[in-house]
Amino acid sequence: MRAKHTLWMGAVVLVSTTATAAVFFEAGPDPAIFPPQQIPIYFNHDYHVRKPDEATGVQGEGLRCTFCHEKAGDELTAAETDIPGHSSCDSCHGEWIDDAPIKECARCHKDLDPTGTSSKAAGLTIPPANIKFAHASHVKAGVECTSCHNNVPNKTVATRDDYPTMDRCIACHLEKQVSVECQTCHLTQPSGRLVTQFASGVLQPNRYHVAAVHQGNFLKDHAVPAQRDKAYCQKCHSESDCLQCHDGVGRDARFHPGDFISTHFMQGKKDDSRCESCHNFQQFCLNCHVRSGVATVGDALNVPTRKTIRVDGTGTAIGPHPMSADGWLTPQSRNFHGFFAQRNIRSCASCHQEQYCITCHGSGTGSGGNPHGPNPQRLKGNTASQRAARACLKCHDPADSSWR
């Protein structure tokens, strides 16, 4: 009972820690969508919005958002930013603005020296958001300002941190049965794919689409997300983008560093399945190995043995793997080739063709032993021997049906 209680407590702590960390690590809106701003002014939303209460001594103006942002409800694009200017402030603070001394300007403009003589203040830099957005339609639909900008009434200056995150947009769209297709809000190219390159950054999947986040090892391991939801990938990428890397001829330094020709065998010995996403072992690997003198093809009886790539302690060239003198063909040897073929046949297939194996393992020769592993009888009657017998027939005599 006690153990069960401890387990529950542990689970609660884990979940709450995770949730807290998720909130803690949330780092504001994406700069690709909401470019960085410069707002060098003093302003207090909290005071202007707060309702005064003489009974409790609470001070404020109790203004509605539209008192200052009076045109927001008419805005049809994200480029329209109804930032109140002098004329808007003037209605209440006219004495600060009209023919005011510098010290009055410095009440709002951070960069002005109240004791100085220059009245030239830096302007606000608020680049338009890189999305399709119309305040008008949202206001018309009855969306409250604080539904999206929920922290603004409690803040001094509102910044890009007060724009809504995509989580909030989608939650509301789902609730009101508005489309949540990417192109509903994101800018699109004529082809219909999303615009991803902006001066302020590159648009990439965020935590909302955590399965497709392009961080960590995503560049090398995106097969599963691409297979799981290819429609999502196609929002931004065309098949040409896939072929930029996967066509097997380009050589990207992110995957193949400068000395990859001399070091790629390490990946091969690990049998890295990623190789096959761009390369065919019997075409790409084999041909290059043959052309560079590392490998030979044909059957085992008619090809020269190339001793290359490795040298021993005396500087003498030795084979790319242990040769027959080292026990490569001796089943009792720890160097027996069968062990390696059973674990990493792709490494073999990068240098040898099928004939090379058939020379000895063909059923008529009898010299190569049975390569089928323990209990070869298990293979009798299997699907492959019944419906794809060509592989079997390369070694087994078609006239002899005992192997089927």
Considering only residues 122-181, where is the footprint of other proteins by CB under 8 A? 167, 170, 174, 177, 180
Instruction: Please provide residue 194's backbone torsions phi and psi, each rounded to the nearest 5 degrees.
Output: -70, 150
Distance CA(126)–CA(104), nearest Å, equals 24
Residue 202 binding other proteins, by CB under 8 A: no
Nearer to other proteins, 56 or 383 (CB): 383
Q: What is the largest CA-CA distance in the chain?
A: 109
Distance CA(36)–CA(93), nearest Å, equals 29
Nearer to other proteins, 38 or 365 (CB): 365
Residue 287 binding other proteins, by CB under 8 A: yes
The piece of 54-62, 109-117, 153-161, 255-263 that touches other proteins (CB under 8 A) is 255-263
The piece of 74-82, 121-129, 147-155, 368-376 that touches other proteins (CB under 8 A) is 368-376
Q: Which one-letter DSSP state was computed for residue 317?
A: E
Amino acid at residue number 166: M
Nearer to other proteins, 51 or 274 (CB): 274
CA-closest candidate to residue 256, choices 291, 226, 284? 284
Residue 395 binding other proteins, by CB under 8 A: yes
Q: Among residue numbers 54 through 93, which ones bind other proteins (CB under 8 A)?
A: none
Distance CA(396)–CA(402), nearest Å, equals 9
Residue 202: strand pairing partners: 197
CA-closest candidate to residue 165, choices 22, 30, 23? 30
Nearer to other proteins, 66 or 179 (CB): 179
Burial class (CB within 10 angstroms; exposed 0-12, middle 13-18, buried 19+) of 67: middle
Residue 266 binding other proteins, by CB under 8 A: yes
Pairing of strands 317-318, 310-311: antiparallel
Distance CA(124)–CA(352), nearest Å, equals 68
Q: Find the shortest distance in angstroms from Cβ 307 to other proteins.
A: 7
Q: Which position among 240, 255, 300, 329 is part of the footprint of other proteins (CB under 8 A)?
A: 240
H-helix segments, 218-344? 223-228, 230-233, 239-246, 260-269, 286-291, 337-343
Rounded to whole angstroms, what are the CA distances from 160 to 17, 64, 126, 133, 172? 27, 20, 9, 15, 20
Tell me which residue has tokens 């990417």: 182
Nearer to other proteins, 151 or 238 (CB): 238
Q: Which two structure tokens, joined as six digits, stand for 358?
A: 């058939």
Amino acid at residue number 330: T
Q: Find the shortest distance in angstroms from Cβ 250 to other proteins.
A: 7
Q: Which position among 22, 58, 76, 219 is part of the footprint of other proteins (CB under 8 A)?
A: 22
Residue 152, helix vs strand vs coil? helix
Residue 184 binding other proteins, by CB under 8 A: no
Residue 235 binding other proteins, by CB under 8 A: no
The piece of 66-74, 109-117, 145-153, 246-254 that touches other proteins (CB under 8 A) is 246-254
Amino acid at residue number 250: G
Residue 221 binding other proteins, by CB under 8 A: yes
Q: Which position among 74, 371, 380, 404 is part of the footprint of other proteins (CB under 8 A)?
A: 371
Q: Among residue numbers 294 through 333, which ones bind other proteins (CB under 8 A)?
A: 296-298, 304, 306-314, 317-318, 321-322, 326-327, 331-333
Q: Among residue numbers 2 through 21, which ones bind other proteins (CB under 8 A)?
A: 15, 18-19, 21
Q: Which position among 10, 342, 380, 404 is part of the footprint of other proteins (CB under 8 A)?
A: 342
Nearer to other proteins, 101 or 250 (CB): 250
Q: Which position among 50, 69, 222, 394 is part of the footprint of other proteins (CB under 8 A)?
A: 394
Q: Find the shortest distance in angstroms from Cβ 12 to other proteins.
A: 13
